[in-house]
Amino acid sequence: MTGGHHITIERSDRHVRVVHGEEVPAESGRPLLLRETGCPDRYYIPAEDVRMDLLTPSGTHTRCPYKGTASYWSLPGAPDAVWAYPDPKPEVAQIKGHLCFYEVEVS
């Protein structure tokens, strides 16, 4: 990346699980771990491991100069709790088809 800003993405062998109330909207043994300068580490979960039926698309979009434009989804009582980059910048193309949750349990 540029100007001292770095993003690294690696396959993780950690098991990640998202719990929201009584539901488990996502659980995966094959997440990507994204580390970005100035940001907390984030796990990106393959869409196949996410219960999309529990998510409601949001009208929110944010733009990251390093990753691209993010789209958001909400969980009941948790607006914009999930995001993804449907068309990420080439430098982070690995995160395409993966979703990220604010709250993740890692084991």
* pLDDT given at position 45: 98
C-beta separation of 12 from 41 below 8 A: no
Amino acid identity for residue 64 in this structure: C
Tokens of 47: 């869409």
* pLDDT given at position 51: 97
Rounded to an integer, what distance in angstroms lies between the CA atom of residue 35 and that of residue 55? Answer: 25
Rounded to an integer, what distance in angstroms lies between the CA atom of residue 38 and that of residue 41? Answer: 9
Q: What 3-state class would DSSP assign to 49?
A: helix
Domain boundaries, the chain: 7-106
pLDDT of 58-93, one tens digit each?
999 999 999 999 999 999 999 999 999 999 999 999
| pLDDT band (50, 70, 90) for residue 2 | low
The CATH classification of domain 7-106, taken from the options 3.40.50.300, 3.40.50.1370, 3.30.70.20, 2.170.150.40: 2.170.150.40
| pLDDT band (50, 70, 90) for residue 104 | confident
pLDDT of 14-45, one tens digit each?
999 999 999 999 999 999 999 999 999 999 99
